[in-house]
């Protein structure tokens, strides 16, 4: 009789176990996706709305490689942020508003054509408490799409879209003004390696340097006037970048990653 009751108990519990295992581990509202469009003759727009709790809104902006995207946001709740993701980059953000300086203000050269994704959200604690935020999102895309804007004295390569600076031609077949290898270390005790790079220069020591790791994956580092100011940070990354100047080189440290970048790559020449 005891064995029969035990078997009956298992039979009654099994359906409940199956139902429980199919429930989401972390209840969250679905991500809302909205397309951003500009009025004819304009290069930007302003979006206002309210988000609350775990609500996430993805704004899609279609743009071409070589154009420049600028995004800034103000909100009445300091826990409201936005990220920017390139097309096909679901887990790694080009810009993370909560972990960058300045917060919620971004401008960069688009490296991959397609839908640039601007994700607006409340940070974890505020989201769990069900707080709300009224946001004002400014989005603009500038620059010529489809062909290089050529200034006198330049010879553009056939590789795509970029804003040319005097004497700074594209590398044929690419969207970069320079390509090559730099020294990189990808672990605290790892050996020095050669990492491939490509850079889009904006002049005066400003530009976006994309480094390809030997094992796969890329890291983009943005320079302003010769100084590294941010990188394509995801929430899994260790935090702000650190850098030191060594003669005519800049050593950038991001957690256990070290990149040695000669001044000539950033400034040209």
Q: How far apart are CA 110 and CA 75, in angstroms?
A: 26
Show the tokens assigned to 177. Answer: 């003004």
Instruction: Give the position of tokens 């899994």.
Output: 236
Counting as low any pLDDT under 50, the low residues of the chain are: 1-27, 145-165
> Measured at the alpha carbon of residue 87, what is the angle toward residues 108 and 50, in degrees to the nearest 5?
75
pTM of the model: 0.51
Check: CATH 3.20.20.10 for 32-142?
Answer: no
Instruction: Give the position of tokens 């090559």.
Output: 180
Rg (CA), the chain: 23
According to the model, what pLDDT value does residue 236 have? Answer: 66
Instruction: State CA 152 to chain mean position distance.
Output: 33
128 Cβ contact list (under 8 Å, min separation 6): 53, 54
176 Cβ contact list (under 8 Å, min separation 6): 159, 170, 198, 199, 200, 210
Query: Cβ–Cβ contacts within 10 Å for residue 155, how many?
Result: 10
């Amino acid at each position: 009789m005891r064995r029969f009751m035990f078997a009956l108990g298992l039979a009654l519990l099994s359906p409940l176990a199956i139902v429980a295992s199919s429930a989401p581990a972390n209840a969250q509202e679905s991500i809302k996706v909205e397309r951003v469009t500009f009025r004819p003759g304009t290069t930007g727009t302003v979006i206002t709305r309210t988000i609350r709790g775990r609500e996430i809104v993805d704004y899609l902006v279609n743009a071409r490689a070589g154009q420049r995207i600028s995004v800034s946001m103000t909100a009445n709740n300091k826990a409201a942020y936005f990220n920017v993701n390139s097309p096909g980059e679901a887990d790694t953000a080009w810009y993370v508003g909560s972990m960058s300086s300045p917060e919620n203000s971004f401008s960069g050269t688009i490296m991959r054509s397609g839908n640039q994704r601007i994700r607006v959200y409340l940070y974890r604690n505020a989201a769990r408490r069900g707080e709300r935020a009224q946001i004002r999102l400014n989005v603009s895309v500038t620059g010529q799409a489809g062909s290089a804007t050529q200034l006198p004295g330049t010879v553009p390569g056939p590789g795509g879209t970029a804003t040319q600076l005097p004497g700074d031609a594209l590398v044929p077949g690419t969207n970069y003004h320079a390509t090559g290898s730099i020294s990189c270390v990808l672990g605290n005790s790892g050996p020095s390696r050669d990492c491939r790079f490509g850079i889009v220069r904006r002049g005066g020591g400003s530009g976006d340097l994309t480094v390809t790791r030997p094992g796969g994956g890329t890291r983009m580092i943005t320079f302003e006037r010769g100084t590294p100011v941010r990188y394509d940070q995801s929430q899994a990354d260790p935090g702000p970048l650190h850098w030191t100047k060594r003669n005519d080189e800049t050593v950038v440290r991001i957690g256990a990653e070290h990149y040695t970048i000669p001044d000539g790559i950033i400034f040209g020449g």
